């Protein structure tokens, strides 16, 4: 190896330039072939991509603008991660518009999808810049962005903005606290329970999941918990004045509401939890080339910066920052970093154990039918 390296170095800049040019040419040719094949398919079917989630509206618009020959067919934008996997299961052999080509799910759902044979491997051209800890080594799923759990608060209705999980149990927050999903199916809600459990002394995993269930059992018994899926609309209407959700969703909702009502987004002082979401291509994708092209777009500099614009931390952030390809104005628009410094990234095993505890125990322990 050393001999080969020495020989390459002594070959001068011309050899290096030739190698780089050859690699670039191969990548360009591969990309051109992929674009041609995807355009021939003419459609990409997505699922569970609300436009105000992590800036997905701009991401989808950007893909459409770049590839106008490909129609983006959007299924059930309010679906949860479990619903996405079920959509693949239910549409095996179906090449019609109800079969999703791609999914965007919580980290713990990636290994499950691989184990069930629901997804196929694909490594994007920027694969090496995705951290190893958040991708499957064989390319079946790969992290794309992350955020931290937060409280979105309607300041017109909430006089004292809560700063931590313990605050939400106070009588002044009666009929005000909601989750942004059904904890039996939504990754966002499942991890909110984990965060609450960690704030109450539980170790990440089954223990925190069970403590989180006990926390929401108490919140429900006290009358503070509202069994309604919280969104910007329900917050503005007063049905759910406090919503526990990812910071990027809360910040996007704040911008959309534009002061009507005024919204404050709080990262709690304890139980600060980071959540990674992953991309994957359905093993039964009717439009596999369009799916691969979609992934290339999401992991390009353009796609990654659109996540950042939507208040999400993109998977390639460190590599792009080092390369100087992240606009400073996007970094400046993010909230202060103090709360993020304490964020805990649960492992796959911890997430899986929590998910089993929460989805299996919510009905029996908490007994609130969130819908």
How many domains does the chain divide into? 2
Same domain flag for 257 and 308: no
**pLDDT mean over 196-216:** 97
Q: Note the pTM of the prediction, 2 decimals.
A: 0.80
pLDDT at 41: 98
Q: Judge whether residue 295 has pLDDT over 80.
A: yes
Does residue 131 lie in a domain region? yes
Q: Judge whether residue 323 has pLDDT over 60.
A: yes
Residue 147: count of CB within 10 angstroms of its CB: 27
Q: Which two tokens stand for residue 309?
A: 């614009």
Assess contact for 139 and 121: CB atoms under 8 A: yes
Same domain flag for 259 and 285: no
Q: Judge whether residue 1 has pLDDT over 70.
A: no
Q: What confidence tier does 68 reach under pLDDT thresholds 50, 70, 90?
A: very high
* Burial category of 53 from C-beta neighbours within 10 Å (exposed 0-12, middle 13-18, buried 19 and up): buried
Q: If you average pLDDT over every residue of the chain, what do you get?
A: 90
CATH of residue 108's domain is 3.40.190.10
Same domain flag for 203 and 83: no
Same domain flag for 124 and 159: no
Same domain flag for 110 and 248: no
Does residue 291 lie in a domain region? yes
Residue 230: count of CB within 10 angstroms of its CB: 26
């Amino acid at each position: 190896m050393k001999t080969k390296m020495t020989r390459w170095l002594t070959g001068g800049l011309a050899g290096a330039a030739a190698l780089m040019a050859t690699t670039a040419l191969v990548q360009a040719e591969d990309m051109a072939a992929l674009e041609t094949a995807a355009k021939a398919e003419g459609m990409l079917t997505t699922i569970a991509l609300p436009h105000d989630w992590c800036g997905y509206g701009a991401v989808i618009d950007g893909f459409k603008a770049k590839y106008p020959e490909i129609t983006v067919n959007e299924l059930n934008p309010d679906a949860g991660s479990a619903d996405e996997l079920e959509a693949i299961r239910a549409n095996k052999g179906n090449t019609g518009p109800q079969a999703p080509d791609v999914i965007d799910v919580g980290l713990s759902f990636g290994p499950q999808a691989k184990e069930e044979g629901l997804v196929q491997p694909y490594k994007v051209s920027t694969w090496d810049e995705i951290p190893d800890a958040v991708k499957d080594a064989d390319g079946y799923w790969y992290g794309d962005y992350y955020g931290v759990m937060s409280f979105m608060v309607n300041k017109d209705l909430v006089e004292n903005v809560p700063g931590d999980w313990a605050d939400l149990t106070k009588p002044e927050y009666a009929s005000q606290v909601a989750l942004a999903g059904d904890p039996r199916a939504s990754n966002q809600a499942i991890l909110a329970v984990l965060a609450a459990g960690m704030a109450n002394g539980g170790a990440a995993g089954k223990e925190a999941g069970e403590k989180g269930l006990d926390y929401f059992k108490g919140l429900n018994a006290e009358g503070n918990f509202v069994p309604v899926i919280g969104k910007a609309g329900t917050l503005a209407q007063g049905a759910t004045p406090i919503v526990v959700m990812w910071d990027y969703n809360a910040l996007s909702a704040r911008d959309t509401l534009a002061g009507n009502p005024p919204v404050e987004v709080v990262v709690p002082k304890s139980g600060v939890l980071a959540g990674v979401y992953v991309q994957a291509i359905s093993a039964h994708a009717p439009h596999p080339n369009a799916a691969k092209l979609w992934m290339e777009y999401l992991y390009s500099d353009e796609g990654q910066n659109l996540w950042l614009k939507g208040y999400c931390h993109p998977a390639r952030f460190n590599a792009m920052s080092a390369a100087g390809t992240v606009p400073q104005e996007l970094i400046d628009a993010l909230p202060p970093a103090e709360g993020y410094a304490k964020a805990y990234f649960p492992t796959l095993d911890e997430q899986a154990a929590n998910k089993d505890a929460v989805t299996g125990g919510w009905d029996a322990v908490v007994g609130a039918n969130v819908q």
